[in-house]
Structure 1
Amino acid sequence: MTAPRIFFYVQHLLGIGHIARASRIANALVKDGFDVTVVTGGLPVPGFPGEGVKTVALPAVVASNAGFSGLADAEGRPAGEEFLHARRDLLLEAFHAARPDVVIIEAFPFGRRQMRFELLPLLAAIEKAEPRPKLLSSVRDILQENRKPGRDAETATLVRDHFDAVLVHGDPAFVKLEDTFPLTAEIADRVRYTGLVSPPSAPEPTETFDIIASAGGGAVGAELIGAAKEAAALMPTKLRWLLIAGPNLPEADFTALSRDAAPNVTLVRFRKDFPSLLRGAKVSISQAGYNTVGDLMRSPCRAILIPFVAGGETEQTVRAERLQALDLADILPEQGLTPAHVKAAVERALAASRRGPVSLDLEGAEKTAGIIRSMIANRSPNSKFL
């Protein structure tokens, strides 16, 4: 029997959260017996999408500013019309070559509006395909607030007109889609909650640190890591610190952070065993991105979250505040962050007991595979949508 074919589009513009989550889902789909092609549109990230997953790498684009309003190529040059048209054509060629049974588009139409130049033509190609594949939107549990009039209505219209389902990678007991998308009632028949896409429980660490400060992809994490480094110098030297700067932190910033680090401080760009290291740590300091929080929910260490708010971002603040309300994290503000703030927060966390297990649904990758398999099994040949 031929394995069902999945065509999974993901575009990361700044950090690595989108590609990391999509990769976890893709890997679960492969384990469930699907033939998966992941189309990436950002800078390469080592280790992603992962083994067993076919990949198509489009010419990379990145965010040209913190507000995500512009696109640049891999060298930082503005992405011109000719470049973008070539990308669009490559995407459409990959779609036709894959002949998928299911297409998953990560974030769109709730996000990634900048990619309409290639995603709207992809939607048109899907509608014309014979047979037409199922079309799913894959979104995190908390969406960025839309401040421009009409954007939410446009999103709801695109979902109703084109998408068979919206896979919400969250636990409705923690946050519901309507909490950050006001028009959820208009698309309620398409919404499927999968649970949080978290990694499986990690093995015991082979190396132990007391405090771990991490900056995710690192594109915007220099101040967090710098404040943690200086806080370490203000605290007892018996405490071991690990600072994970992220693969995208500019080299000049990484070099500056490397200077004059205390003997009890280790600075690295990336640790593949990050989830295991959290199991052995007493305190974690990080932003409040989806994937980092997923790792933290598998760990008993105390969490200090510093939500990313530049460019009007609201998603991480909502997540951090929900976790704080459940006594699963403490919060420090990104603006005006000082080593003294970090030191005081770490001291409070060290004085608290290690956290017990959480009750949130953390099996989102595996449940996504189950939902998609059920959709294929229940597909009506005469109906466009479920």
Structure 2
Amino acid sequence: MTAPTALIHVQHLLGTGHVVRAAAIGRALVDLGVPVTMVCGNTVPPTLDARGLDVVCLPPVRARDAHFKEFLDETDAPIDDAWRDNRRDLLLKAFNDVRPDILLSETYPFGRRKFAFEMLPLLQAARARATPPLIASSIRDILVRKPDPRKEETMAEIANRFYDLVLVHSDPDYVRLEDSFPFTDRVAHLLRYTGFVHTGTRAEPPSGEGDNEVIVSCGGGAVGTHLLDTAVHARAVSRAANDLTWRLLVGHDVPEERFTALRATLPQGVIAERARPDFPGLLKRARLSVSQAGYNTVLDVLAAEVPAVFIPFAQVLETEQSHRAQALAGRGLATIADEKTLTPEALAQAVDAAMALPRGRERVGHEAQMRGAETSAELLLRAWEESR
């Protein structure tokens, strides 16, 4: 049997979690013999593992801020209708060039509503083919709730109209889709839980780095700099971790001048450097992790079996990270500090409490399913074979 071809569409806007997940699924498909084209709608982060993937970069766009109401092109100008028309045409060209047997959209239609200008034409083109591809959606464990339930209902309508599968990248013993999506019953026949998509330990850190340290990270996005600024001063007021090295990992989206200014303020015992591909390895050696509660970071924490402090990103109407942090805190695996009231003293208090949590083999309870990328690839290939 000839192997199918796959096209993955991913649009990350602030952080890098979406493209990291999409690339992991792409690599798992490649491991099964499936040629994969990944179409990216924003700049590919320098730490991304895209081995084996044919990466097509559309004109990049990002969100101005966490309101997700204004989107900027590569020149920091707001996108307009001409820009949208060009993006749509380039995406359709990529689809027609690849002619995939499997089409996977990351997030859409359960988010990225503002990108319907290109996604709906893509889905219509796919369904119009004489032999349509298998069409699947790839969504994380928790969706961001919408104030208008009609928008959520529309997500379910689009899924039922165009999609064959919805891959939910969660362990249902931790988080279920109905916890954050009120119309889950309408798409239940499409759902497949894959377990969490964890990329695993990559490069091994140099000897000694990370040992018994407090690792503070803001992922790959530009929204965690307040956490980093606070951590610089929190070490001195912590009672349980003031004698440990605190290593601050700064995302590559943080401008160089901002990074330089942060490093200029560092007291003794605090290190600041750019985000590293060996971050999971650092966590395995660490005494404590301090971070936001993005999908990929939380999975790295779970896999490392290291106690954690989560400061969930909760600006505007964001609820996803708070929900995820609470799921782990409820299992005694983490403490939580409030982003809106975060001070060095408040962070130090959360750190001190987390230092008393169990670590490694002392942790008990359900072991999370972490083979989401591999399971996703297997489900997609099986569904394609059954559809022939």
TM-score (norm 1): 0.95
Question: Is 1:220 matched with 2:220?
Answer: no
SS in structure 1 at match of 2:88: helix
- Shifted more, 232-241 versus 29-38: the winner is 232-241
SS in structure 1 at match of 2:339: coil
Question: Is 1:275 matched with 2:271?
Answer: no
How far apart in 1 are the matches of 2:260 and 2:215?
A: 19
Report deviation, 1:300. 2.1
SS in structure 2 at match of 1:311: coil
Aligned to 1:374: 382
The correspondence for 1:261, drawn from 266, 291, 309, is 266
Aligned to 1:75: 75
Contact 1:9 1:40 in 2 (8 A): yes
How far apart in 2 are the matches of 1:345 and 1:160?
A: 44
Aligned to 1:360: 368
**Which amino acid counterpart does residue 373 of structure 2 have in structure 1?**
A
Aligned to 1:122: 122
**Which amino acid counterpart does residue 366 of structure 1 have in structure 2?**
E
How far apart in 1 are the matches of 2:327 and 2:242?
A: 33
How far apart in 2 are the matches of 1:334 and 1:253?
A: 20
Aligned to 1:27: 27
How far apart in 2 are the matches of 1:8 and 1:203?
A: 26
How far apart in 1 are the matches of 2:346 and 2:360?
A: 22
Where does structure 1 differ by over 6 angstroms across 4 or more consecutive aligned residues?
Answer: none
Aligned to 1:208: 210
Report deviation, 1:363. 0.8
Aligned to 1:10: 10
How far apart in 2 are the matches of 1:325 and 1:7?
A: 38
Contact 2:9 2:104 in 1 (8 A): yes
Change in CA separation of 1:49 and 1:79 when aligned onto 2, cut-off 3 Å: farther
Change in CA separation of 1:88 and 1:128 when aligned onto 2, cut-off 3 Å: same
Aligned to 2:88: 88
Report deviation, 1:360. 1.2
**What are the residue-to-residue correspondences of 1:226-241 with 2, within 5 Å?**
226-235=229-238, 238-241=243-246
How far apart in 2 are the matches of 1:46 and 1:201?
A: 17
Contact 1:107 1:137 in 2 (8 A): yes
How far apart in 1 are the matches of 2:26 and 2:370?
A: 16
Report deviation, 1:368. 0.5
Deviation by residue 1:311-333 (Cα, 9 ceiling, x = unmatched): 21000011111111111211000
Which ranges of structure 2 fall in alignment gaps of 5 or more residues?
none
Report deviation, 1:247. 0.6
Contact 2:198 2:299 in 1 (8 A): yes
**What are the residue-to-residue correspondences of 1:1-386 with 2, within 5 Å?**
2-48=2-48, 50-201=50-201, 205-206=205-206, 207-209=209-211, 210-235=213-238, 238-356=243-361, 359-379=367-387, 381=388
TM-score (norm 2): 0.94
SS in structure 2 at match of 1:172: coil
How far apart in 2 are the matches of 1:218 and 1:162?
A: 31
Contact 2:109 2:155 in 1 (8 A): yes
How far apart in 2 are the matches of 1:202 and 1:325?
A: 29
How far apart in 1 are the matches of 2:171 and 2:142?
A: 11
**Which amino acid counterpart does residue 139 of structure 2 have in structure 1?**
V
- Shifted more, 353-362 versus 316-325: the winner is 353-362
Change in CA separation of 1:189 and 1:351 when aligned onto 2, cut-off 3 Å: closer
Report deviation, 1:351. 3.4
Contact 1:38 1:49 in 2 (8 A): no
Report deviation, 1:237. 5.9
Deviation by residue 1:135-174 (Cα, 9 ceiling, x = unmatched): 0000001000011141121111101110001000001111
Aligned to 1:384: none
How far apart in 1 are the matches of 2:104 and 2:202?
A: 28
**Which amino acid counterpart does residue 130 of structure 2 have in structure 1?**
E
Which ranges of structure 1 fall in alignment gaps of 5 or more residues?
382-386
SS in structure 2 at match of 1:267: strand
Contact 1:205 1:279 in 2 (8 A): no
- Shifted more, 352-361 versus 41-50: the winner is 352-361
Alpha carbon RMSD of aligned pairs, Å? Answer: 1.6
Report deviation, 1:25. 1.2
Q: Percent identity?
A: 42
- Shifted more, 69-78 versus 278-287: the winner is 69-78
**Which amino acid counterpart does residue 233 of structure 1 have in structure 2?**
A
SS in structure 2 at match of 1:168: strand
How far apart in 1 are the matches of 2:14 and 2:234?
A: 27
